[in-house]
């Protein structure tokens, strides 16, 4: 498929602060696929790798999908203030490590976050303007169950737990700035792309604007 980012043929590159692009959804609503598409096609955005106490699933890689730690380590990291946000999800702990993110944001690096609504709220509480929260809805709950089953990674009991959790997660849709129904992955990707492109142009992020405009207005 052709790249769908806005073609940026401009030779003027202004300094910019990075943004925190949050993609939340109940599991199975397509956020993993959309995230992968974004990361593969956009060199300016990088995944924030969370820390979790949940056991590793087949195919997952420590340090790539998550940093897998035990509960004692997680609790120590909380006590030391190492997380930008953390929350309990499905009985396991998840957290966003602070290290590397804050500094990289200042240098113009964007981050993609796959975190739940609790984490999104926490992030927004202290750095609201830099957080762009997007929620993906499945077209129906039947479709969601079907997608979860076809992944083949979880038992029926776990799937039913995830369905219950999905209803709960969906009920927090209004905590987001953007809400999309993912009934077609390419169409959804285009919309996510449009949000990211527009948000990058917000005046708050374009830290190089003042100098640029000052030069622009300098008398000949």
**Among 4, 15, 41, 54, interactor with ligand 5GP by CB under 6 A:** 54
Interface positions, 117-136, toward ligand 5GP (CB under 6 A)? 118-119
Residue closer to ligand 5GP by CB (options 119, 133) is 119
Candidates 38-46, 110-118, 139-147, 212-220; binding stretch for ligand 5GP (CB under 6 A) = 110-118
**Among 87, 131, 137, 148, interactor with ligand 5GP by CB under 6 A:** 87
DSSP letter, residue 29 = S
For 69-177, strand residue ranges (E) read 83-89, 92-97, 110-113, 131-137
Closest CA to 23 of 129, 162, 186, 132: 132
Residue closer to ligand 5GP by CB (options 90, 212) is 90
To the nearest 10 degrees (0 to 180), the angle between helices 141-151 and 156-170 is 140
Pairing of strands 83-89, 110-113: unpaired
Q: Yes or no: say if 196 and 185 are a contact pair by the CB < 8 Å rule.
A: no
**Among 16, 21, 38, 94, interactor with ligand 5GP by CB under 6 A:** 94
Return residues touching ligand 5GP (CB under 6 A). Answer: 24, 27, 50, 54, 85, 87, 89-90, 94-96, 114-116, 118-119
């Amino acid at each position: 498929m052709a790249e769908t980012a806005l073609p940026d043929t401009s030779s003027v590159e202004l300094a910019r602060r990075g943004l925190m692009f949050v993609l939340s959804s109940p599991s199975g609503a397509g956020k993993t696929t959309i995230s992968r598409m974004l990361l593969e096609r956009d060199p300016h955005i990088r995944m924030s790798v969370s820390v979790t106490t949940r056991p590793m699933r087949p195919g997952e890689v420590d340090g790539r999908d998550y940093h897998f730690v035990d509960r004692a380590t997680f609790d120590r990291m909380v006590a030391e203030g190492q997380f930008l946000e953390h929350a309990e999800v499905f009985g396991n702990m998840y957290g966003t490590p602070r290290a590397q993110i804050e500094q990289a944001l200042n240098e113009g690096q964007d981050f993609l976050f796959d975190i739940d609504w609790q984490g999104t709220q926490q992030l927004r509480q202290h750095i609201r303007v830099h957080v762009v929260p997007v929620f993906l809805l499945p077209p129906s709950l039947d479709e969601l169950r079907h997608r979860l089953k076809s992944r083949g990674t979880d038992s029926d009991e776990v799937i039913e737990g995830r369905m219950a959790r999905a209803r709960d997660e969906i009920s927090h849709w209004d905590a987001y700035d953007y809400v999309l129904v993912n009934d077609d992955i390419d169409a959804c990707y285009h919309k996510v792309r449009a949000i990211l492109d527009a948000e990058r142009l917000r005046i708050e992020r374009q830290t190089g604007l003042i100098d640029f405009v000052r030069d622009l207005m300098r008398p000949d």
